[in-house]
Amino acid sequence: MNNIIELQRVCKGYGKGKNRVEILQSLDFSLKQGEFAAIIGKSGSGKTTLLNILGILDGFDSGKYIFKGREIQTLSEKEKNRFRNQEIGFVFQFHYLLKELTVYENIVMPAFLKEGKISKEAREYASELLTEIELMERKDYKVENLSGGEKQRVAIARALINRPALILADEPTGNLDVETSEKIHALFSNLVRKKNQSVLVVTHSVELAALTDTQYKVVNNKLTKNQK
């Protein structure tokens, strides 16, 4: 059983003194290599907060976060940057593409940040991903001109380009219509099965959750596993 990430008794709250609110309390969580998991929960329950911690975008108050055997809290800023760049792929609720760049440029951006250039390997993988998201012929479009669903597909390809161990998606279809969402769901589960990466997705979509291996729910500042 190989845990790619593991949270041990992690606590996180916001504010100070009287305004203090605890969001996550003594939370344990782990994800295996190749596991596809979903987190559901009420709005404001702390799903995004959890994802930000896992994505090393935000810190936490106490507990341990172990990523591929390394304790994240002990890493320097530089190493954290390297982890985010090479080991994690992000898909946000809104596509968050860089609007000045083309479809292709957006996809290879993380690879460029990694190596300072775009290697042959990254180029080939980008083509492969472009085919998979069915946007090969839109490769040189400015992303502004794409539809919402297309943009989100580009964002997914961007999350995959560096072949990260972990992909974090925060309501990736929260903003799309049902039909487009279904397409994205299919894309997600296909990609995951094929590439054996670990995926954690926050979603309100029953359909997407149904495709996953494991489902968690945030209740009372903790995660509970939903039995299938």
Partner 1 sequence: MKLLLFIAFKHIFGRKRQSFIAILSVIIACVVMTVSLAISSGLDDSMINSMLSMMPHVKAYNGVMAIDNYTQVARKIAQISGVKSATPTYESQGILQYQGLQGNFVTGVMMEGIPMSGSSTAFNLSNITVSGSATFPTMGSVIIGKQLAQNIGAQIGSVVKVISPSDQSLYLTVSGVFYSGYFDYDSRAIILPLQTMQIISQSGDVATAINVQLINPYEASKIASIIAKKTGLLTQTWGQLNYNLLYALSLERTVMILVMSLILLVSGFVVAVVLNTIVKEKTRDIGILRAYGFDQSKVLKIFMLEGIILGIIGLIIGTLLSLAILFILKHYSLPFLTKAYYLVKLPVKLTFKDFIMTTIETFVIIIVFTILPAYKASKLKVVEALKHE
Ligand X SMILES: Nc1ncnc2c1ncn2[C@@H]1O[C@H](COP(=O)(O)OP(=O)(O)OP(=O)(O)O)[C@@H](O)[C@H]1O
Total interface residues for ligand X by CB under 6 A: 11
Distances (CA, A) of 14 to 25, 51, 91, 164: 12, 15, 24, 29
| Shortest distance in whole angstroms from residue 206 CB to partner 1 | 27
Q: Is 73 helix (H, G, I), strand (E, B) or coil?
A: helix
48 touches Mg ion by CB under 5 A: yes
Residues in the chain: 228
205 touches Mg ion by CB under 5 A: no
Q: How far apart are CA 195 and CA 193, in angstroms?
A: 6
Applying CB under 6 A, which part among 45-53, 105-113, 131-139, 189-197 lies near ligand X?
45-53
Specify the DSSP class assigned to residue 34. T
Q: For residues 5-24, which are near ligand X according to CB under 6 A? A: 14-15, 23
Applying CB under 6 A, which part among 43-51, 117-125, 183-191, 205-213 lies near ligand X?
43-51
74 touches ligand X by CB under 6 A: no
86 touches partner 1 by CB under 8 A: yes
Among 43, 74, 220, 227, binds ligand X (CB under 6 A): 43
Among 31, 38, 48, 168, binds ligand X (CB under 6 A): 48
Q: For residues 14-53, which are near partner 1 according to CB under 8 A? A: 52
Q: Are 27 and 10 in contact (CB under 8 A)?
A: yes
Residue span 107-136 as binding mask against partner 1, x where in contact by CB under 8 A, dash where not: --xx-xxx-x--------------------
Sheet of 70-71, strands arranged across: 21-32, 3-14, 62-67, 70-71
Among 2, 62, 73, 81, binds partner 1 (CB under 8 A): 81
Helical H segments across the chain, by residue range: 47-54, 77-86, 103-115, 120-132, 148-160, 178-195, 206-210
Longest dimension (CA), the chain: 56
44 touches ligand X by CB under 6 A: yes
Q: Which residues bind Mg ion (CB under 5 A)?
A: 48
